[in-house]
Structure 1
């Protein structure tokens, strides 16, 4: 995914506390075609698209849904001071970077590129593919800037309860198999549930971002009689502040969603 993001500073403002579940539909995303055979749907302001009311959520700077046709991809492009997480929904994505790392990301795997002081890489639909590759790529602000770049790729073992930790910078997760983020108060999970089953208990945080990758999901905005019912389809997302995402239940085909746990927002200054 090609672009450069200017790194904000390190001072963190007061955390937002008002509970809210802000549903954003897949069709509301800004679409772009940055390369031949590439379609991108952006959740936030990105590259030539700028909406001053929609630049980030919590520490999350980007959440892009990418579709790369057979033979398509992003040529050499550079990133810096960004934690980049990639989750493939369909097909296979080939990654190669200037520091000598190469890997193929397939469904059930998580890739982490910590751009640090700067790294150049390519992303392409894997050679010999019969169809497109579809993936979600998310950019997170790190705690420190100018660090050496780092790369990680692992196949996950789904947790029995449906809440599988993919990557984390939290001290509590230091001994886990999760990829290690350079953000000390954020973690990424994949959450799954079978048809008509409730989701497992989700971690609490000041900021949570849920992106549905497969199936469908229903939830209430707050607990009690005043909580309105909402539904989600693939590509929909919810920006959650406080305890505002209540009783989530999978639909007829089950559900898979990516969930960010974030305890502070983007820092400036």
Structure 2
């Protein structure tokens, strides 16, 4: 008897399932993976992604100086403005419609704060990716995103395929971060294929089928929900009544140890 093909899995994680921490006054973080004092041995990473944190900083609040090493850190602001400053002299203010990349390399310290004078919070998504080049000099990038025609915009990539584009360059040669958007009740653009894909809904709502065809169960996503995708899972994603904005990681290899 012929075995049924393995179509992969679409593992939906609700925002309310995230581990919540309050590391400082005015700071609230919701973690998708094991992080700091919260450790779940079954949930340490997905593909090459090590962290996907939803952050909320009240006016005047932020993360004091702290150090990173050998981590690719990508930041996408949803509301407000985030001020970054690091020990290599890089500084920037990240606002909605901009993407920031800090490649920690051999080691860098930085601060992240709600921008001075703000009267409201800053909300952002921060993602950590394992590099495949280690102990390099730290690097920084910040760009305003010009949405591409068709609703699929490349934000950052380490793939040779994407060299020469406007995308921020990652120190991982087989991963890329995309922004996918669709209007009300419209299908998302065709998404890039990869053995590991991580989708995080930042705005609107989204429906999809767990696998292609009539046997795929229907699921829905709200802002903050994420899906860990392998194989052909996550079929026919379609925006809800207010449209949808989705961050999508394309990853062709998992975390490497040793």
Q: TM-score range by the shorter chain?
A: over 0.9
**Structure 1 position 243, deviation (Å):** 1.1
Query: Does 2:137 align with 1:148?
Result: yes
Q: What residue in structure 1 maps to residue 168 of structure 2?
A: 179
Q: What residue in structure 2 maps to residue 78 of structure 1?
A: 67
Please report the TM-score for the alignment, with normalisation by the length of structure 1. 0.93
**Structure 1 position 130, deviation (Å):** 1.3
**Structure 1 position 229, deviation (Å):** 0.2
Query: Does 2:211 align with 1:227?
Result: no
Query: Does 2:244 align with 1:246?
Result: no
SS in 1 for 2:34: coil
CA deviations over 1:48-72 (Å, ceiling 9, x no partner): 0000000000000000000000000
1:119 pairs, out of 108, 125, 131, with: 108
Q: Alpha carbons of 1:265 and 1:18: their partners in 2 closer, same or farther (altered >3 Å)? A: farther
CA deviations over 1:63-122 (Å, ceiling 9, x no partner): 000000000000100000000000000000000000000000000000000000000000
- Mapping for residues 1-269 of structure 1, pairs under 5 Å: 19-269=8-258
**How far apart in 2 are the matches of 1:89 and 1:77?**
23
**Runs of 4+, deviation exceeding 3 Å:** none
SS in 2 for 1:99: coil
Q: CA RMSD in A?
A: 0.7
SS in 2 for 1:172: helix
Please report the TM-score for the alignment, with normalisation by the length of structure 2. 0.97
Contact 2:79 2:124 in 1 (8 A): yes
SS in 2 for 1:198: coil
**Structure 1 position 145, deviation (Å):** 1.1
**How far apart in 1 are the matches of 2:181 and 2:61?**
30
SS in 2 for 1:201: coil
The alignment covers a number of residue pairs equal to: 253
Structure 2's unaligned 5+ residue stretches are: 1-5
